Amino acid sequence: MKDTDTTLLKSNPSRVERCADMLKVIAHPTRMTIVEMLYNEGDLSVTQVYEMLGIEQAVASHHLAQLRNKGIISSQRDGKNVLYTLKIRKLYDVVNCVKCCSNDEIRSYAS
């Protein structure tokens, strides 16, 4: 392992902590799905989110608030609706990578 592999942790531990916090927030099936939906569909209202997921409005609002509080998504009012946008679009790549890894792992167990 190179010394540069730990440079981020040594030089900026608060950044590493923020990164870990983001990963913790998206490490939930509903929030992973919301990230994917916002990436694929664009701006969505809470109504669209809970209808697409088939969950209660309060549950959708809770998950959206957690993502918003970590700066992963942003919200803006559009008339009577609040629209949510994926602010850090690269996090979709993380979600997609985890999905691909889990599919590969499932296949290796089946072999």
Domain residue ranges in the chain: 3-110
Q: How are beta strands 44-45 and 73-78 bridged, if at all?
A: unpaired
Residue 25: how many CB atoms within 10 A of its CB? 19
The SS3 assignment for 54 reads coil
Report which secondary-structure segment, H or E, holds 22.
helix 13-26
Per-residue model confidence as pLDDT tens digits over 46-58: 999 999 999 999 9
pLDDT value for 1: 44
Alpha helices in 27-56 (DSSP H): 29-41, 46-53
Per-residue model confidence as pLDDT tens digits over 73-106: 999 998 999 999 999 989 999 998 888 887 765 5
Pick the CATH number of 3-110 from 1.10.3720.10, 3.30.500.10, 1.10.10.10, 3.40.50.720: 1.10.10.10
Per-residue model confidence as pLDDT tens digits over 9-42: 677 888 888 888 999 999 999 999 999 999 999 9
- What is the spatial distance between Cα 103 and Cα 73, in angstroms, rounded to a whole number? 26
pTM attached to this predicted model: 0.81
For CA atoms 35, 38, 43, 46, the dihedral sign is negative
